[in-house]
Chain A
């Protein structure tokens, strides 16, 4: 069993400054692919380094396979790490790089060679590359050697620190699926850090969203998308980002672009409990349905009953081929981004109308950011 448990783990760099990682509680199941995602400064890399043993803990503890490793040296934790810039040993060949950890463990040369070759095969690293030095390799090749170095160790946990961020876009997409596939095949518990929420959503079994050193929400990608627990998660997950606007409360709902968006009773009750006069409304671009296209949200009937309508003027159109992103200024002056069909999107200056299903609208507390769901 190689589960990983963060228990109130903290890291404070200098006395008096806010913690880089603030009492993190996170459980990674055995064999799970857990992604830590968040903007820079969110503490995700620090949390990973704490698991690796490269950062000391200032509070709480960390367990691997049920054993407290908080004070254990990195080499005794049975982990392997892929660094952001690969950190390959420049003076050693590819084979020596991959076999280094085994050499440190005094594994016999023949066994070492066998395992290195096996890892190279898994990663499609050509035999001819084994004798080369890192500076003779391309970025993609170096990344694979870095992964090979980790695989060879057959550790309990893989740690990966933004391993794709230095690759070009196309290679990134390719390698993304390769890594996910590899993890599925090997079944090793993996903790993966990235700032790219697309990577997080496509690769992780579960995703932990961090901000300012605190865990915001840890759930499956689907759950994060459908049920974000606060404004930060809602705005971070999903591309393009959810539209968030402050909207004053009225009877039955909140006002946006001159229209009242109805809010469910529990939401209104929660708002009333805190004496709120306004809330933050969140609508995803894909949930702003262009009336002109005759599109309706799946939840509504064909007659459009119960839908709210928002009007606005198109400022800018970004054509992506299959889709188009419309930057629209709504009637009240608020800007939103909406997703439309790519074939013939409305041009700049056009007046447009969107239909919104209130069930697809999120409401957040304007101060705490927590989701109001009653």
Chain B
């Protein structure tokens, strides 16, 4: 079953598909309205404005304001190799970071599930990367950790034959992804750990009696049980990581060249350095469309679940 099977539980009481009086219907809608209206105003209006500006020629640093320019911004976006590069970088970085973080997360969750001395303390240490301010983490990794001349990482790797590597120059992509993984593994770990601890102990005992060793039990029983949790972790992690900005801005500034320029950073540059509101808007709209396409896969997950619930 996918995540949502277990997540989107139908409400227990009060679901009356028919026969809810008009007054009752409005009384039910009322508490939802503030959040709904707020969200529409604060998220949809900026999007509509973005759409509007995407058809305008509007540069900050030029006098004259905005004027209609049709689809020329879009033409630019589609022919701009740096936009395409930003999309590729965003997708690949997010995918790698999420997958590696989840693999590590599963391993660490299995570790934290076992009883050992100081387990609580180790868990406290392990969730810290998620709590640290990403901006702080980025700057600390860029400086005290990865600097070629005084970084801790180079010092620790010296015995292994690594000498004064300038990580942010020669391995910029990997360094940024590494920090993303470091920050989000705790999140994956905690979600998977919740799943592990929810497994019924007698089922595991039955597996023991049936002759399953540790690895067979994990593969045949635990992993299927963890599937909804893993999917949730990947979904949430992807949503947040695809928007990740701090690491790129503070570690590599998108460089060297455009090696680490992700979409958020690309848009940031367009607005703050090119002062190109129109261009940024068009790029933004295209980004949104791309995201919708990807998100429609998630939609399919939801839909399947809603059908399943209806059938119950």
Contact = CB atoms under 8 A, between A and B. Distances in A.
On whether A and B touch (CB less than 8 Å), the answer reads: yes
Interface of A: 52-54, 73-75, 79-81, 83-85, 87-92, 100-101, 104-105, 149, 153
A193 B193 CA distance: 34
A81 B206 contact: yes
A104 B209 contact: no
A81 B209 contact: yes
B224 interface: yes
Interface stretch (B54-62, B84-92, B197-205, B248-256): B197-205
Contact of A85 (B202, B211, B220): B202
Contacts of A87: 200, 202-203, 205-206
A104 B216 contact: yes
B241 interface: no
Contacts of A153: 210
Nearest to A76: B211
A91 B221 contact: yes
B113 to A, nearest CB: 18
B140 interface: no
A89 B221 CA distance: 7
Nearest to A101: B210
Interface string B123-142: 00000000000000000000
A162 to B, nearest CB: 12
B90 to A, nearest CB: 34
In the A-B complex, list the 6 residue pairs whose CB atoms are closest, starting with the nearest. Answer: A91-B224, A75-B211, A101-B210, A104-B211, A87-B206, A87-B202
A83 B202 contact: yes
A356 B216 CA distance: 64
A73 B214 CA distance: 12
B9 to A, nearest CB: 14
Interface in B164-221: 200, 202-203, 205-213, 216, 220-221
Contacts of B209: 52-54, 74-75, 79-81, 101
Contacts of A149: 206, 210
A52 B206 CA distance: 10
B206 A89 contact: yes
A75 B211 CA distance: 4
Label chain A's interface by main secondary structure. loop
Contacts of A79: 209
B220 to A, nearest CB: 7
6 contacts: A54-B208, A87-B200, A87-B206, A90-B225, A91-B224, A101-B209
Nearest to A91: B224
A89 B211 contact: no
| Residue among B210, B212, B213 with most chain A CB within 10 A | B210
A27 B166 CA distance: 74
A75 B208 contact: yes
A89 B211 CA distance: 14
B59 to A, nearest CB: 57
| Residue among A79, A84, A85, A90 with most chain B CB within 10 A | A90
Contact of A100 (B200, B213, B220, B225): B220
Contacts of A85: 200, 202
A84 B203 CA distance: 11
A100 B210 CA distance: 7
B225 A104 contact: no
B203 A88 contact: yes
Contacts of B211: 74-75, 101, 104-105
Contacts of A89: 203, 206-207, 220-221
Nearest to B224: A91
B181 to A, nearest CB: 29
A83 B203 CA distance: 9
Given A90-B225, A91-B224, 18 more contacts: A52-B209, A53-B208, A53-B209, A54-B205, A74-B208, A79-B209, A80-B209, A81-B206, A83-B206, A85-B200, A88-B206, A92-B220, A100-B210, A101-B211, A104-B210, A104-B211, A104-B212, A105-B211
A101 B209 CA distance: 8
A370 B225 CA distance: 52
A87 B207 CA distance: 9
A337 B160 CA distance: 84
Contacts of A91: 221, 224-225
Nearest to A78: B211
B227 to A, nearest CB: 8
B6 to A, nearest CB: 11
B10 to A, nearest CB: 16
B133 to A, nearest CB: 39
Contacts of A101: 209-211
A92 to B, nearest CB: 8
Contacts of A80: 209
A92 B210 CA distance: 14
Given A89-B221, A90-B225, A91-B225, A100 B202 contact: no
A325 to B, nearest CB: 37
Contacts of B212: 75, 100, 104
Contacts of B202: 83-85, 87
A56 B280 CA distance: 68
| Residue among A85, A89, A101 with most chain B CB within 10 A | A89
Contacts of A84: 202
A153 to B, nearest CB: 8
A193 to B, nearest CB: 14
A23 B203 CA distance: 29
Contacts of B224: 91-92
B215 to A, nearest CB: 11
B68 to A, nearest CB: 58
A63 B139 CA distance: 65
Contacts of A52: 209
A92 B222 CA distance: 12
A79 B210 CA distance: 9
